Structure 1
């Protein structure tokens, strides 16, 4: 005879608090990505030759408003389920992959960097971004 699971089931309000944290951090990532792109594009460090509404936006709004927030939510969803060392390894791997994706998108003509740009900036920038997003997510758990 099997006994029903004694695991505590999450209430609806607990799930909605998680959802709130994911949405908040998706918006945060969009905000940070947008403003960093505006700063770096404004300084001439890089530019986006192919972008939506080029007469209005100097940045790639598809990336900052859709791809980066979705990536952030996916990252948090997976990172929440990993042990600390595995989470750190995931952050390192993501940063390395972005390092190469950025160079590939340059070859496609979607992204052009200034000649003085070092792609290591992106590696360290994304690593820092992931750490900050994760720390904010952990901090938000104190209020959930």
Structure 2
């Protein structure tokens, strides 16, 4: 293996090394926010009867699917933020729209499997619009916390 070194007398600026992996510690505040928002929205909508989770972990204790809000949603947010940090502004907008559409479709599939039941008055474009707002909020919160963290250094 050959390693190229910077020539001592060179006027060229050294290229900064960009790590292959990402720093998940910087995403923790956004992941926690996403889990809290997801949990409270589920509690609210289950409480008013807009939807329910017939198949869930510890059904006698929890009225919501805590596996999704505590494991699935944080993993999804890590993937989402990882991708958002690697694409330009226009692709970010398209990515948010596509992900929101896929999540609304996933809800429809979860209904067919029996993991999720919506009230008859529920429209899946509610989910689509909700996910757009949710993802924008999580991304902006991550950017703001990342910028404030970098200013402290």
Alignment size in residue pairs: 138
Alpha-carbon deviations, 1:57-114, whole Å to 9, x = none? 0000011001011101110011001000011111000011111111111000100000
The reply on whether 1:77 has 2:82 as its aligned counterpart is yes
Match of 1:93 in 2: 98
| SS of aligned partner of 2:64 | coil
Bigger radius of gyration, 1 or 2? 2
Matches within 5 A, 1:16-95: 18-95=23-100
**TM-score scaled by length of structure 1:** 0.89
Q: What is the aligned partner in structure 2 of residue 109 from structure 1?
A: 114
CA contact (8 A) 2:29 2:145 kept: no
Shift in Å, 1:142:
1.9
Give secondary structure in 2 for the equivalent of 1:142.
helix
1:7 alignment counterpart: 15
- How far the C-alpha of 1:10 sits from its partner, in A, is 6.7
- Ranges in structure 1 where 5+ consecutive residues have no aligned partner: none
The 2-side partners of 1:105 and 1:142 are apart by 37
C-alpha displacement of 1:141: 2.4
Q: Which runs of 4+ in 1 moved over 3 A?
A: 2-5
Corresponding residue number in structure 2 for 1:131: 136
